[in-house]
Amino acid sequence: MMMGTNIAAVAMAAPVEEEESDVLLLWVLVWSELVAFGILIGAFLVMSAFEPERFALARLHLSPGLAAINTVVLLTSGWQAALAVRRTAPTRQVRRSLIAAALLGFVFLAVKLFEYAGEIRYAGEETFSGFFELYFIITGFHLLHVVFGALVMLLIAWRPTRGNVVLITTLWHAIDLVWIVMFPIIYLA
């Protein structure tokens, strides 16, 4: 009888330990992403402090209106991701919300590529003192995260499990957070 109880206790503890290690991995991933973006944004801020006139001139060639549209797109996508992670959401709603969030991620991609088309000609111009190089590195790195996250959401929507939905929606919110910090620093400062 004692042996059966121990086996049951081990069987019950395994999913809890696995869930705890998944949560740890999730937060290590989120914080590493935030640190990477923090370093990039920090470099941008340092450069803008050394070359304020050139950075101000370069900002005149950005499209804050398109960036504002993309902010609304990402926030709406984050809202859909939040709907997907609700415990009471039926599988059909989880799928719909993940797909909607992913599609909005692709809308973000389309708007950003349209924006890039008007800005790429300024990359490498000495007049702007590296502004556009940093701009394309930071926003391009973010854009890669958006595309990757959207693809993963579509994959998870096909066969959603609670753990995977929590993982991708948490990462998606971290991507949103990075954009919310980047938007005023790059476009409005």
pLDDT at 7: 46
Give the distance from CA 159 to its chain's centroid: 22
Q: Which residues of 73-98 are buried (b: 16+ CB within 10 A; e: fewer)?
A: bbeebbebbebbbeeebeeeebbbbb
**Sequential pLDDT tens for the chain (189 residues):** 445 545 444 444 445 455 555 778 888 888 999 999 999 999 999 999 999 999 999 999 999 999 999 999 999 999 999 999 999 999 999 999 999 999 999 999 999 999 999 998 888 778 877 899 999 999 999 999 999 999 999 999 999 999 999 999 999 999 999 999 999 999 998
pLDDT at 41: 95
Cα–Cα distances in Å, from 27 out to 60, 100, 105, 139, 148?
37, 25, 22, 23, 18
pLDDT at 20: 58
pTM of this prediction? 0.85
At 60, list the tokens: 């005149």
Nearest CA-CA partner of 81 in 184, 180, 141, 169: 169
Sign of the torsion angle spanned by Cα atoms 78, 83, 87, 93? negative
